[in-house]
Structure 1
Amino acid sequence: MKSMLILTDFSEAALRAAEYACELVDTLQIRRIVLYHAYQTVVGGTDLPIATAMNDQEIYLKSMEALGMMHDRLKSLVGQTVKIDMLAEDTSFLPDLLNQLCRKEAIDLIVMGVSGKSALEKLFMGNVTAQTLRSSEFPVLIVPQDTIIGRAIKGIVLTTDLKDFSTIPVTLLYQFLDAFPAEINVVNITTESEEKYSLETEESIKELHSVLEKYQPAFHYIKGEDIVPDILSFTEQHKASLIITVPKKHGFLSTIFHKSISKKLAYNSPVPLLSLPALH
């Protein structure tokens, strides 16, 4: 990996995500960071620039000034070998343009923070986060505001659906698992009503074991009705510091990114979430 895109609205949550991302620079062999601010994304009740209060040029200049301050703070964390670029754009809705931006800037990883300061912010960020994860063609790292900075990734929880193994981006998954020499727990949660696996699912289980064999993971097949709480409980019990998942528009774990459930995952867990784009 070479380039990382850090989304920022200049909030404390965004700064924490940026600082966390900087700690991964050497591990992921990042040589370029792009700090990005969509300055027309307006949320009432926050300190974000409001379009009606000033003209577009003034908003742009204020955005670049804030990016410059963030640049200086992060530069001290990554050193001189990592280039930090700044980009502020007038865009009405970020997820729609994110893939285009990443292709243009040759981005390998998107980083964004989440917090829960107010109900309105939760609603807005929950929607933006969920839609970014669903639509992104690139890996997205979601960093909760309470994430501890300076703690190495020693435990990973990898969630799977088993129903369509072909959607797992194996090569991309290998890149991250190779970068983080951590204990890996592979988790699949099925509902109590599912008495047994289908032949297709059993075949997917065999493929998954074969693909991940070199990492010597532990496999866990758990019965449960509340997917997100069960994943978070498992993560806490095993003291994992990263959750990796492959969200899809339909199927297991797609409900994680439904508005109400995504809030639970994004705002209640101190553990970062790495979302890998599913293959089609």
Structure 2
Amino acid sequence: MKILVATDFSAIADNAVEYAAALCRQFNAKLIIYNAFIVPVHAANTLLTAESFQEMLEKNQGKLKKCAETVSVNYGIQVAYEASYSFVEDELKNLLLKYEASLVVLGMSTKSLEQDLMGNTTTAVIKKMKFPVLAIPSGAKFTGMKKILFACDVLQGVPAKVLEQVRNLSSDLHSQIEVFFVDEKIEELRNSDSATLAIDIINDGLEGVTYSHKNVRSSAVIEEIGKEIIAFQAELLIMVPKKYGFWASLVHKSKTRMLASGLEIPLLSIPL
């Protein structure tokens, strides 16, 4: 197993690297640390020579190498590193293919949450890319994931491949899962054929792990998820991004700010 983490050497990114390293130690996985080199603003405003640019690039490469070596020693894991002068989303796709990584880890700023879902870069990666992304809020530390909250749109159906990933993660971490669904008409839909079929599919997909269901009638999706994180004492929130419906309600900025104020646990986005 290989895990890819992106860093810009900020405090938030450093925390994400530490979290990813702890995950790698847990899963006996290899870590790849990636940095998208950006020319500093003060340098960008001057006429850079090729020599000056190369010097900055090499200095950045040295910083990344030192980071990788330190993480490798501290966590007792294999660590590789990559740096490039390119767009983060483009290079992440290339590195995922190159290393056959199964997960991308990114830092998550609560201040950026108020502007968009999880910060500009993290948001763009989740919206555009078709691979699992683990967003780590500032200050979050990996101490295991004994309780996982899987917030999903039950009535829209959950693909078998997503359920398989959730089941495997729960099995590897010996975690308890709660499948959580929020809807305005939950009472009317609870006994419908479509709801019954959806629950049956989830039951089959999560067979072999400890899990439970909880449905809440409400139009306030964000608030209910935030409350359930606290009530269930979840250590990880899993969601499936969709273009419409359930996911669309999350990217509405006013609701997103509500989630930002209470989301202190990592968010794992599993694409369809």
Question: TM-score by structure 2 length?
Answer: 0.85
Distance 1:123 1:209 in 2: 34
Identity %: 27
> Higher helix fraction: Structure 1 or Structure 2?
2
Aligned to 1:156: 148
1: distance between equivalents of 2:142 and 2:197? 40
Which segments of 5 or more consecutive residues in structure 1 lack a partner in the other structure?
A: none
* Cα distance per residue 1:126-171 (max 9 Å; x no partner): 2321221122222111110121x25222111011112133375233
In 2 relative to 1, CA 124–51 (structure 1 residues): closer, same or farther, beyond 3 Å? farther
Distance 1:100 1:143, change over 3 A: same
Q: Secondary structure at the match of 2:208?
A: helix
Write the distance in 2 (CA, Å) between the matches of 1:177 and 1:213. 11
Give the corresponding residue for 1:24. Answer: 23
Deviation, structure 1 residue 97: 4.0
Match of 1:86 among 67, 81, 91: 81
Q: Aligned with 2:107: secondary structure?
A: strand
Contact 1:126–1:263 (CA under 8 A) maintained in structure 2? no
> SS state of the match for residue 241, structure 2?
coil
Q: Deviations over 1:181-204 (max 9, x none)?
A: 122111011125884255333311
Describe the SS at the equivalent of 1:219: strand
2:32 to 34, 40, 50: 34
Q: 1:101 aligns with which of 60, 80, 95?
A: 95
Paired residues of 1:33 and 1:83 also in contact (CA < 8 A): yes
1:101 partner letter: L
The AA in structure 2 aligned to 1:191 is E
| 174-183 or 164-173: bigger deviation | 164-173
- Which residue, out of 251, 267, 270, partners 1:273? 267
- Match in the other structure for 2:70: 73
Q: 1:61 to 1:83 in 2, by over 3 A?
A: same
| Structure having the higher Rg | 2
Which piece of structure 1 moves more, 200-209 or 104-113? 200-209
- Contact 1:244–1:275, Cα closer than 8 Å, also in 2: yes
The amino acid that maps onto 1:67 is: L
**Offset from partner CA, 1:238-277 (integer Å, 9 cap, x none):** 1111111111222212332455555554564110111112
> Are the structure 2 counterparts of residues 50 and 28 from structure 1 closer, same or farther at C-alpha, using a change threshold of 3 Å?
farther
Q: Secondary structure at the match of 2:80?
A: strand
Equivalent position to 1:229, from 223, 227, 237: 223
Report the counterpart of residue 61 of structure 1 in structure 2: 58
**Paired residue type of 2:53:** D
C-alpha contact (below 8 Å) 1:5/1:110 kept by paired residues: yes
Q: How big is the shift at 1:217?
A: 0.8
Answer with 7-16 or 67-76: which moved more: 67-76
Question: Can you list the C-alpha shifts for 1:33-84, whole angstroms capped at 9, x where unaligned?
Answer: 1111111387x7xxxx8644654323322321221232233122221xx321
The alignment yields a C-alpha RMSD, in angstroms, of 2.8
Letter in 2 for 1:144: P
Aligned-partner Cα distance in 2 for 1:41–1:266 = 30
Instruction: Quote the residue 1:213 is aligned against.
Output: 207
Which digits, 9 at most, give the CA deviation of each residue in 1:195-226, with x for residues without a partner?
42553333112211222132131100111222
Q: Structure 1 120/171 Cα, relative in aligned 2: closer, same or farther at 3 Å?
A: closer
| SS across alignment from 1:153 | coil
2:199 corresponds to 1:201: no
CA distance in 1, matches of 2:221, 2:60: 39
Aligned-partner SS, 1:214: coil
2:239–2:267 CA contact under 8 A, matched in 1: yes
Question: What SS class does the counterpart of residue 4 from structure 2 fall into?
Answer: strand
SS of corresponding position for 1:18:
helix
Counterpart for residue 6 of structure 2: 7
Aligned residues: 266
Question: What's 1:187 paired with?
Answer: 180
Question: Residues 14 and 261 (structure 1 numbering): CA distance in 2 closer, same or farther, change over 3 Å?
Answer: farther
